[in-house]
Amino acid sequence: MPELVFFSGTMDCGKSTLALQITHNRSARGLVGVIFTRDDRAGEGKLSSRLGLVTEAVEAGEGMDLYAYLVDQLSKGGKADYVIVDEAQFLAPDQIDQLARIVDELDMDVFAFGITTDFRTKLFPGSQRLIELADRLEQLQVEALCWCGARATHNARTVGGEMVVEGAQVVVGDVNRPAEEIGYEVLCRRHHRRRMTSATSRAGSLSPDVLPVSSG
């Protein structure tokens, strides 16, 4: 039976790499997939992995009807056996409903990849709807690590290396950005709660709590 599967995890845990691997494996068996993405780090209409792999994709813009797009392609003689959706957290809830409709009415597997919560630990609307509708939820097994070495469970937005907790929910960025830019970092819950990034932890280590006092 076709399924709507939601693969979730923090940033930097290999979601896009797995999406590309599924595409490769199915293409090797002669299957044709349609790839949707939204606001990929490599630019519009791209599905990219931090390992350097990139493939073409359909940009699922705001207001786009994914079900209608697929039906139109099929009516024009196109072929599609399955659907990949990367950065699925950025989709609107009604677009997630359209993915479920693709599974139910077009009998295609849909594999959606995304992060569940934003930098404020709040659910993205698209991810919430996927949790509500998906036939299967899969937590990626490749664990991203916090700077302290613990398993990273939260996404943090940084400006100048410092964590911020206010601002628009969607600001496109990436991990490993220069410190002065808006970027993202994955943290364990403890250090997310303390707003302690790798940059601020280094600064803290250079500033001892107790200043040395000379005697004499």
Tell me if residue 4 falls in helix, strand or coil: strand
In which element (H, E) is residue 184 found? Answer: strand 182-187
Q: Specify the DSSP class assigned to residue 89.
A: G
Q: What is the DSSP string of 112-129?
A: EEE-SB-TTSPBPHHHHH
Task: Name the burial class of residue 119, with classes exposed (0-12), middle (13-18) and buried (19+) by CB atoms within 10 angstroms of its CB.
Answer: buried
Annotation says 143 is catalytic: no
Q: Which of 87, 105, 143, 166 is catalytic?
A: 87
User: For residues 80 and 36, is the Cβ–Cβ distance under 8 A?
Assistant: no
* Residues belonging to the active site: 87
